[in-house]
Amino acid sequence: MSQPVAAVRHILIEGNKSYHNITEDLCSPTEKSPSREWIIAFSLSTVFLGLYVFAIVWTVWKGIGEWGANRSINWAWDITNFVWWIGIGHAGTLISAILLLFRQRWRTGVNRAAEAMTIFAVICAGQFPIFHMGRVWLAFFIMPFPNTRGPLWTNFNSPLLWDVFAISTYFSVSLLFWYTGLVPDLATVRDRAKGFRKKMYETFSFGWTGSAKHWQRWEALSLVLAGISTPLVLSVHTIVSFDFATSVVPGWHTTIFPPYFVAGAIFSGFAMVQTLMVITRKVLRLEQYITINHIESMNKVIVLTGTIVGVAYLTELFIAWYSGYIYEQFAFYNRVFGIYWWSYFGMMFCNVVAPQVFWARSIRRSIWWTFFLSIIINIGMWFERFVIIATTLARDFLPSSWSYYRPTWVEIAIFTGTIGLFFFCYLIFCRVAPVVAIAEVKSILKVAGDQYIGPNAKHGHGEKTHHH
């Protein structure tokens, strides 16, 4: 109120909103009948989800032989898609945890949807290694538990098992973080609802009242969950990169993989958040809450992480040359100019060259550029994983076993099907829960609302801002 406001502060809530306006605007998508766009999108996702179920049933019924995966390219599309989805699943926790620790206010506009996206992306990611096991009904063998097979335990020295622990921990902790953040907002929806909906939200909101002590504990819990989620999110993709880095395959056996994978994960995660946010803000009419300032902040993260990824690509090539080790050199020569050269150049263009346009402020603040580039980056990051997996395995140790890999319709159907699964979950989420964190947006209103800061602010804040 009486504090001077720094000029560097961005307006994050537009339209002269009161607390009540915020409640109305953010609850209304859960209260109105679904829009035509939503129904079309939901029907389409359901079709793809159906395709997914069909392709999975086909795989389980007939066996993994229905896939194009072969010896030696046994990880093929499947693990490519797994890593792609897991990478996408990193932005949510990054936004909610790391940006909370750094006290970045713009996180409040996008954290809820990004966390939801994380959860759904991890669900999609999980499908791939589970069905890649082949005899999926024995998938529980990956869990260490006293059993009648000896007891024969899992191998705790294997990065693949570390992955099981990392991803399931990540999934469950993200779920707790997301849901605990959601509880006060579900109470807001509950207190506006009637009849059956009220009953439903009473159950979902766990009896939240908004008592001062509860808010205090809620904030303490959020902060600690953020604190432990930050190393967690870094550990997950580090461990995913160990799946490759601890092998003895040239092209995989590199120490640069953990930071390179983490930067790539943040990069692709933010790209997917942009894809979703650009659509969500338009369809749910949330432009005043997910503003151009939010989009620009995320584009800055994208250009930074995209450049880190670019440096990693070049470092990898340099070190391969510098090592003087011909097998390593061949692996990278093959990666760039080999049979899958098109995927390498696709990756370089989409991930390193294309995002550089975000150095221009006008492009960072353009919705169409943002949307277009977010799709390009999603594609580029898929190429990255394909490059790492397919090109390396297609030229392994024995030239006699060198081969080429093409996906079959089953693999393509499973992959596009998981996109259907993802949007199916996301669209349901948009209908039942507030997509933007209501309480958190209210808590920043007085420092980020356009009636308090910015050129149209009341009470003559304008002249004070010049002193900062």
Residues lying near another protein in the complex (CB under 8 A)? 1, 18-20, 23, 144, 150-153, 155-159, 161-162, 165-166, 169, 172-173, 176-177, 180, 183-184, 187-188, 190-192, 202-221, 223-225, 228-229, 231-232, 235, 239, 242, 439-440, 442-443
Distance of CA 410 to the CA centre of its chain: 25
Q: Are the C-beta atoms of residues 59 and 67 closer than 8 Å to each other?
A: yes
Question: Minimum Å distance from CB 100 to another protein?
Answer: 13
- Measured from the CB atom, the residue of 153 and 359 that comes closer to another protein is 153
Tell me the sheet residues that pair with 13: 449
DSSP three-state, residue 356: helix
Letter for the amino acid at 125?
Answer: A
Question: Minimum Å distance from CB 212 to another protein?
Answer: 4
Question: Minimum Å distance from CB 351 to another protein?
Answer: 27
- Measured from the CB atom, the residue of 56 and 182 that comes closer to another protein is 182
Tell me the sheet residues that pair with 1: none
- Measured from the CB atom, the residue of 223 and 326 that comes closer to another protein is 223
Tell me the sheet residues that pair with 449: 13
Non-local CB neighbours of 350 within 8 Å, separated by 6+ positions: 376, 377, 379, 380, 381, 383
DSSP three-state, residue 405: coil
Q: Which element (helix H / strand E) includes 72?
A: none
- Measured from the CB atom, the residue of 168 and 416 that comes closer to another protein is 168
- Measured from the CB atom, the residue of 179 and 341 that comes closer to another protein is 179
- Measured from the CB atom, the residue of 20 and 467 that comes closer to another protein is 20
DSSP three-state, residue 449: strand
Question: Minimum Å distance from CB 153 to another protein?
Answer: 5
- Measured from the CB atom, the residue of 144 and 462 that comes closer to another protein is 144
Q: Which two tokens stand for residue 254?
A: 């590199």
Question: Minimum Å distance from CB 170 to another protein?
Answer: 8
Rounded to an integer, what distance in angstroms lies between the CA atom of residue 29 and that of residue 53? 29
Q: Are the C-beta atoms of residues 299 and 358 closer than 8 Å to each other?
A: yes
Rounded to an integer, what distance in angstroms lies between the CA atom of residue 346 and that of residue 384? 9
Rounded to an integer, what distance in angstroms lies between the CA atom of residue 424 and that of residue 429? 9
CA distances (Å), origin 254, targets 80, 323, 391: 18, 12, 16
Question: Minimum Å distance from CB 24 to another protein?
Answer: 9
- Measured from the CB atom, the residue of 35 and 211 that comes closer to another protein is 211
**Could you tell me which of 360, 389, 386, 385 has the C-alpha nearest to residue 373?**
360
Question: Minimum Å distance from CB 21 to another protein?
Answer: 9
Question: Minimum Å distance from CB 452 to another protein?
Answer: 12
